[in-house]
Structure 1
Amino acid sequence: MTTRYVLQALRRRPAETLAAALAVALTVAFLVALGSFTTRTGARLTERAAARVPVDWQVQVTPGSDPAVARDALAATPGLTGFRAVDYAKVRGLTSKSADGQTRTTGAAYVVSLPADYASFAPGQLRTLGGSLVGAALQQQTAANLAAAPGDTVTVLGSGRTVAVTGVAELPTADSFFQVVGAPAGSGASAPPDNVLLVAPERFRDLVGSATVIHQFHVRLNHGELPSDPARAADLITLRSNHLVADIAGSALIGDNLEVALSAAREDAIYAGLLVLLLGVPALVLAGVVALLLISLRNDRQRRDLALLRLRGVTPRRAATLLGLVALIDGLLGAALGAVLARALGTVSVPWLAGGTAAGVLLAVVTELAPVARLLRGGPPTVQDAATALPATRSPLPLRLGLDFLLLAGSAMVFWLTSRGGYKVVVVPEGVPVASVNYAALLAPALLWPGMALLTWRLSALVLARRGRRPGTDPSGRLPDLRRDVLRRRRRVVARGATGLAVAVAVTVSAAVFTTTYDRQARVDTALTVGSDVAITLPADSGGTLDPAIAAVPGVTAVEQVSHRLVYVGPDLQDLYGVDAATVGRAAPLEDAFTPGSSVRAVMANLAATRDGVLLSQETLHDYQLHTGDAVRLRLRTDQGAYRSIGFHVVGVITEFATAPRDSFVVANRSYLAEATGRPAVETLLVRTGHPARVAAAIRPPTGAQVNDTTSPRVAVVSASGLAAGSLSGLARLSLTFGLLLAGASAGLVLVAGAVQRRRATTALAVLGATARQRAGFLWTEARALVALGVIGGLVAGGLVAAQLIKVLNGIFDPPPHHPVVPWDFVAATVLAVLATAAATTAVTARWTGRVDASRLRDL
């Protein structure tokens, strides 16, 4: 009997089974895809953070210890791909004599011993600017200070030994290369040394003489063994380094560069999780609600089946088993279909696949059996119970209690309290292996969602509760007064449906606004790192110059010249950028967030109007107690090769600029810089184009210059935000695709549910003599009211939620957005999809409910 009942139920009502399976499949696919995206995001962040570290560990031998002890311990350490010995010694200085007989001497310098294969062992640690690194190479700034080039001779002060220069090199990661190993976070040197001589090991001891030597081993680890989560990967690396320290019993200290990079990625991983929580979970809940609504369409049929089964003497447990097996098959079919759909969307995580499948089956069983359980507890139902039930008109309990106002007030209060002090949702203290999350800030959007849903319900009910004009004549037979009165009596049902549609639209719109804003700021972030769509760069103060003609390739709309120099602000060496302030915005990204307290255009206009004007960082202004209008003297290298003090006037503060580092830097007028130093060289060209990759490939730079563009492999672009480097394209596509489907499905299903509920009413109208057009008019009136209220409520709620999400997650943006960016084309597409689905659904259901046959009459 059991098998026969289940098979007959599936055979006689295949449309209901298919609808239930599709609803479950949609929820399962979204859950699996969302979870898999979270897992992949963590793995990408870990991989990207590790790839940016040229040397994972710097193992420094403690004074008086035998380097062989550390070497032997490293050789026995698992997970290593190799290590190299690197020695340092600080000497009094370096001196050189130019061809014109002029002698130049530097201050204190470092002589560094590097093995011949070090550049290939640690890619990214060294960059050859000229000559060869095999032999003796000068750091680029040291070569500028000594006016030395390959072929010149340099003398090491102290030992008095000389060495022939074979090349000039740049140390892109000099901060970590010369870190104070073993020092607490933040207590090391504020800047790497300006003067460095790189030599072969066989010359090192002879050149440094009696200077104190620091022995280090630079280590590379196997990144393929790291866990996918950055926090777990950082913990694993920390445990390995602690184990090594214990093995060598204090003979060495470890500078753990990899752990530092992974710890920094923890913040991005937490933000990724928060994005999934705040963008993905509402859509997931909506998917579950749509599935529940679709599955519940068979509840009326189940009530009648249950009544017939009870009349035939079937026990409650047996009846529940029969109906439960049908629900289980719905769930299994939907889960299987959802797993296939999720797999088609991309790589899936096995744990999330298993969890999503189980959740889909549970959703189907619980949704279909919950009404049955209520009926079984209430005694044997009768077949005609549903026919005499009238829709409730009383407001639901949450609205009578004013819960919507309480939730919205709570959201506003939490938002104000957490945002007034310039808070950060995620805080990762430097040197502390624990990240803290200000979950209180997340209460604001968490309270806003249900608050806006309930407010939409309240306002929809109030609009529908209005009484129309007094009944009048109806010569056209359209029954407007009766339709309006029926709509008012069904206001609770219609308002509930409008609320569901509003939530669906709000989920889609909020995700679209947030991801569009994020994508724009991510492009600004990447363009800041690169400099523009395409950037051609020479090292600062390299002595070379770039001709703007090399950027004259098809597809280029603007080219800006930038002079990149090194400048001493007091004792601090900083980057200085000479720009054409009036036109630099044609190619460089400029945001008001770069100039606190003023618009960036006003600041750049002020700089252009002040010939000797200069923009300084907030840190520099604070450290040297400078203010706008103050005169300041900066030391720059002139055409004679020596540094000379040059006067400037402070015209403003700047926090970000194209190609500039994230700490202190200086921006000045290029023309004044060339006049004051006698050096008009251009070290950077910023190129604006709509086709970065194609233009970058067409440019032929001179020797020593680099060409980069915003579409380069993201690992090569050290973006300020790890998530900006990875972009949210995956989560955006996932949320927007499913959101659009759910918005249309919500509109259609709410209207189908309403038509099913009114099937007996339309049959009764037919018996009373109403035409098919008159009966359909009731459905069209209800559909217009429901869709209008739902779309308007959804657009307002989605805009408010998106604005709050952008403010709450402000720390993920660098620089922060000035205002949300609304994708009007996508919003219009969402509204059109809802309208089209509603129109098609209403037309189909009007024809379906308009049929009057023997089975419909028996239902009365």
Structure 2
Amino acid sequence: MTRFVFRFLFRTPGRTAVRTAVLLVSVGLLGAMVLFIGNSLRTMTGTATHSVSLDWQGPVASAGAAERVAAKVARENGVSAAAPVATAPFTGAQHTGSAGTIRAGAGYVVAVPPGYQSTFHTFRMLYGTLGRDGVVLDQQLAATLQAHVGDTVKMTPSAGAMAVPLKVTGIAVVTAGDTLFQPLIPLLGPAPAQPPADVAVMPFASFVKRFGSALSAVAPSNASAASVATGATGVTYQVQAQVEPRYLTGSPQHALAQETQLRNKIERSLPGQVQFVDNLEAALTGAAGDALYAEALYIMLAVPGALVGLGLAYLAALGAVDRDRRTLRLLRSRGASRRRLLGLAATESAIIGLVAGLAGAALALLTVKWVLGGALSTWPWAVGVCVAVGFLGSFAGRVAAGAGALREEQRTRPALWQRLYLDLVALGVSGLVWWLTARTGFSAVVSPDSNPTLSLSVYMFLAPALLWIGATLLLIRIRGRVFNLLAPERATRQRDYLLVSAARRASSINRGLVIVALLLAFAVNLSVFSATWDQQSLVDARLTVGSDIVVSGALGTQQAVAKTPGVTGTTALDHTYAYVGPDLQDTFAIDPNTFRHGTSLRDSYFLGGTAAEMMRRLKARPDAILVSKETITDYSLNLGDLLKLRTLDHRTGAFHVVPFHVAGIVQEFPAAPKDSFMVANLRYVLTATHDPGPNVVFAQASGNPSGIAAAVTRNIASKGAVVRNISDQATQTASSITTVGLRGISRIEEAFALLLAAGALILYSVMAFAERRQELATMAALGKQPGRIAAFIWTEIALIVGVGAALAAGLGWVLAEMLIAMMQHAFDPPPDHLAIPWGFLGALLLVVVGGAVLAALIAKQSVAKMPLGAVLREE
């Protein structure tokens, strides 16, 4: 049987090749989608794990307990490192130098063991090293004391205690102070706190010997007393641990389960000795929500294209019905049973499915490798999916075609869905859901007081899914009746004959029209949605970063930044924190006179006034403050009300009350978090808090932000500042909830859409020629020229392209509008209008026209080479 099937396939190599190629591309699209999603989820896991500076923090009772537990935890499989760490307050520091004796207020000491920096990244060395003795000063504390490497400073552990002389061995920048100094309460989880203004780093052993003995240890049960906000008076000993990144594999959800199991196993092996505050769990939990969001978005964008592609493969199989009917009649006349005939069809499908599945898998691997690069860990799974889909797609089309060929009578009664008008019902429900979405503001993403979270419901999938289904069924119901309207009642010219001929084949033409229209609608929808998404990603990146270039973590950098070539304007601000009642909120102290020199403001950022008006209100009153809407609601505030904030006094190290007056409501602001925050006057805040100066600089760039940011980094290298730019931020946030990266998958699917669109037209040309070959042969026998005969086929192709393009433009645009409406809360701020990707749409038009021309040429060549005698003798 297999030998017969191979001979049968090679008798018509053109049809076999077209059928295999169409199925190959369809399978490749589905396989590429599986590969891309798997790789994206793995990337999201890696991004989440690398974003956490401290994975685990477990409070313990003493220095000895910290060392013992750290040694045991470090030996566990899956843990890359564990270290004993201590944090403690000091009441003051002083340095005597050429400028005299300079004193600093209260701050905190962090004690870490040798080699700590190789695995933990809570601070970054600028100069010097952390030796076995001495102290490393944070950059701000070193600037206050005017101390340098090699100087000696004196630090007082507590009131009344002797000052401890320590040699300065290095200068550093503490980069994870909010996590390092958070209260360690395992039952409550992570609770990042405001970091102290002045920080010093000491070797753990030296700290225990020379500094820690003057302070009592904070019991693990009272770890909340160790937070900066409560003014701790004792030493907090803790064990810090980092999970081996290679231990966490797969999606964020899978990695979260692995990480939780590892932590539970370690805590069970050390009963009563340690319980961890799991910072990594919080990051992976957020990433797992983002992954669910990304998967949902990818499915909504990718699955329709894959299904249309498989529909095209099914259409390719149906194109061989007439040929198969003749072959099967011949075999049945020679005694073949129905079972054997179906077995032949199944064997033929298995061969084509295997070839298309393996070739489609190779195409998917090459495509994703081209887009992403690097290793693809999910390739075995993707190959299996491709082969399975190749088999199923080939079987579904071929067996259905074989069954149709075996049926002696064709069903004339309309299908059940046509009698129930399910196509119109689907379109009506889709429109209703879309209207409710627009009216109620329902969205896939909801933003409470903290980070954005995801809320998925079947409801959100109904509008686009039902629109796809309803539009497809409606096109099938029409069965090409629109072509009857184009045909004249009387044919007197060549053009009239062509249109009348097309109208009589309306049902056959409609099969090609459905596939081409849906493919083009898929391409339009994908490209418009992706272009809008990319447009808003850039807007969101600007809002997230603050400006084109942002310099933070160092004082006195504005002049150097402003002198960098390509920088067109700068403004300095101070990012600090203040308590509104018990709530710690970000506070941005700005200069309203120069703020717009370094960044941009939109009126939509504010409520109750324009951006210019809000800046005027800040300038009019030194103690004016702009407060978020959440704070206005939670504390029943009104414009002009007195607002007392607790801010950190950098001179004394203690919190004190500073009065402000509410001048406006702000809901978005450059570099501000998604939740509550405040905006105040820079000079007033610096005076009230004794802050040494602004710690952030916003800069606008006239050229490539990445290149100008690199020049800024070189100019301020000695300052130890952190430089970010909008281009890198747009890339960085590509796996976050606000800007899931669509560029990769959109490039893949757009490429496949172009291939399938051209392939669909060529396939239709082959099918139309096969269906009309006797009719066309009769024309040729009567003396018609091949070009005039082929015009009957390319007229059908032109009608498919014209009508399909019109339908696709409308359907694709509506689908993009629906998806944007569903995802509107994912954009920050929401888009004002859809972006139109003229480049891709132009390429799509060229490919479709090129495919139509190629299909017409194939039809002309087929007519010219047609064996008239053999065709006319066919039954």
Q: Which residue of 1 aligns with 2:26?
A: 27
State which drifts further: 32-41 or 156-165. 156-165
* Aligned equivalent of 1:351, options 381, 385, 391: 381
Q: Distance in 1 between matches of 2:438 and 2:586?
A: 33
CA deviations on 1:717-747 (whole Å, 9 max, x unpaired) are 5x49526787333212211111121222223
| CA 1:323–1:454: 2 relative to 1, 3 Å | closer
| CA 1:80–1:8: 2 relative to 1, 3 Å | closer
Q: 5+ unaligned residues in a row in structure 1: which ranges?
A: 382-388
1:324 is displaced (CA, Å) by 3.6
1:693 aligns with 2:706: yes
Letter in 1 for 2:211: F
CA contact (8 A) 1:129 1:169 kept: yes
* Residue-pair matches, total: 826
Q: Distance in 2 between matches of 1:550 and 1:479?
A: 70
State which drifts further: 125-134 or 666-675. 666-675
Q: Which residue of 1 aligns with 2:111?
A: 113
- How is 1:302-321 mapped onto 2 (pairs within 5 angstroms)? 302-321=324-343
Letter in 2 for 1:618: K
- How is 1:301-700 mapped onto 2 (pairs within 5 angstroms)? 301-345=323-367, 346=369, 347=376, 349-376=379-406, 378=407, 398-417=417-436, 422-423=441-442, 425=444, 437-456=456-475, 461=480, 463-466=482-485, 471=490, 474=492, 477-478=493-494, 480=496, 482-539=497-554, 542=555, 544-547=556-559, 551-553=563-565, 556=566, 558-566=568-576, 568=578, 572=584, 574-578=586-590, 584=596, 588=599, 594-595=605-606, 602-604=610-612, 606-607=614-615, 611-612=619-620, 614-628=625-639, 650-657=663-670, 659-667=671-679, 683-699=696-712, 700=714
CA deviations on 1:646-696 (whole Å, 9 max, x unpaired) are 866624413241x34444444457799899999986841424244233333
Matched residue SS, 1:160: coil
Q: Which residue of 2 aligns with 1:276?
A: 298
Q: Distance in 2 between matches of 1:355 and 1:818?
A: 40
CA contact (8 A) 1:581 1:669 kept: no
1:50 is displaced (CA, Å) by 1.0
CA contact (8 A) 2:2 2:347 kept: no
CA deviations on 1:316-366 (whole Å, 9 max, x unpaired) are 333333444333332232223223322322246112202211321332233
Q: Distance in 1 between matches of 2:601 and 2:471?
A: 36
* Aligned equivalent of 1:754, options 768, 774, 784: 768
CA deviations on 1:724-782 (whole Å, 9 max, x unpaired) are 78733321221111112122222332344334323333344556776656544433443
Q: Distance in 2 between matches of 1:615 and 1:824?
A: 41
| CA 1:186–1:193: 2 relative to 1, 3 Å | farther
Q: 5+ unaligned residues in a row in structure 2: which ranges?
A: 218-232, 370-375
1:709 aligns with 2:725: yes
| CA 1:195–1:664: 2 relative to 1, 3 Å | farther
Letter in 2 for 1:54: S
1:296 aligns with 2:315: no
* Aligned equivalent of 2:210, options 176, 200, 203: 203
Structure 1 vs Structure 2: percent identity of aligned residues? 28
Letter in 1 for 2:699: L
Matched residue SS, 1:318: helix
Q: Distance in 2 between matches of 1:629 and 1:761?
A: 87
Letter in 1 for 2:764: V
CA contact (8 A) 2:603 2:611 kept: no
1:285 is displaced (CA, Å) by 0.9
Q: Distance in 1 between matches of 2:12 and 2:794?
A: 27
State which drifts further: 192-201 or 216-225. 192-201
1:300 is displaced (CA, Å) by 1.8
1:52 is displaced (CA, Å) by 1.6
* Aligned equivalent of 1:126, options 123, 127, 132: 123
Letter in 2 for 1:289: G
| CA 1:468–1:727: 2 relative to 1, 3 Å | closer
1:234 is displaced (CA, Å) by 1.1
Q: Distance in 2 between matches of 1:420 and 1:164?
A: 68
Matched residue SS, 1:722: coil
Matched residue SS, 1:611: helix
Matched residue SS, 2:335: coil
1:218 is displaced (CA, Å) by 0.7
Matched residue SS, 2:52: coil
| CA 1:404–1:746: 2 relative to 1, 3 Å | same
Letter in 2 for 1:757: E
* Aligned equivalent of 1:731, options 729, 734, 745: 745
| CA 1:367–1:100: 2 relative to 1, 3 Å | same
CA deviations on 1:451-507 (whole Å, 9 max, x unpaired) are 2333455678453343766537x3xx4251x44444434333333432221110111
CA contact (8 A) 1:564 1:682 kept: yes
Letter in 2 for 1:607: M
Letter in 2 for 1:366: A
Matched residue SS, 1:535: strand
CA contact (8 A) 2:464 2:818 kept: yes
1:288 is displaced (CA, Å) by 0.9
Letter in 2 for 1:563: L
Q: Distance in 1 between matches of 2:119 and 2:691?
A: 41
Matched residue SS, 1:59: strand
Matched residue SS, 2:708: helix
1:255 is displaced (CA, Å) by 0.9
Q: Which residue of 1 aligns with 2:229?
A: none
Q: Distance in 1 between matches of 2:646 and 2:65?
A: 44
Q: Distance in 2 between matches of 1:478 and 1:395?
A: 35
| CA 1:402–1:409: 2 relative to 1, 3 Å | same
Q: Please report the RMSD computed on the Cα atoms of aligned residues, expressed in angstroms.
A: 4.2
1:57 is displaced (CA, Å) by 1.2
| CA 1:142–1:780: 2 relative to 1, 3 Å | same
Q: Which residue of 1 aligns with 2:51?
A: 52
CA contact (8 A) 2:538 2:730 kept: no
1:448 is displaced (CA, Å) by 1.7
Q: Distance in 2 between matches of 1:766 and 1:328?
A: 38
Matched residue SS, 1:78: coil
CA contact (8 A) 1:551 1:687 kept: no
CA contact (8 A) 2:22 2:759 kept: no
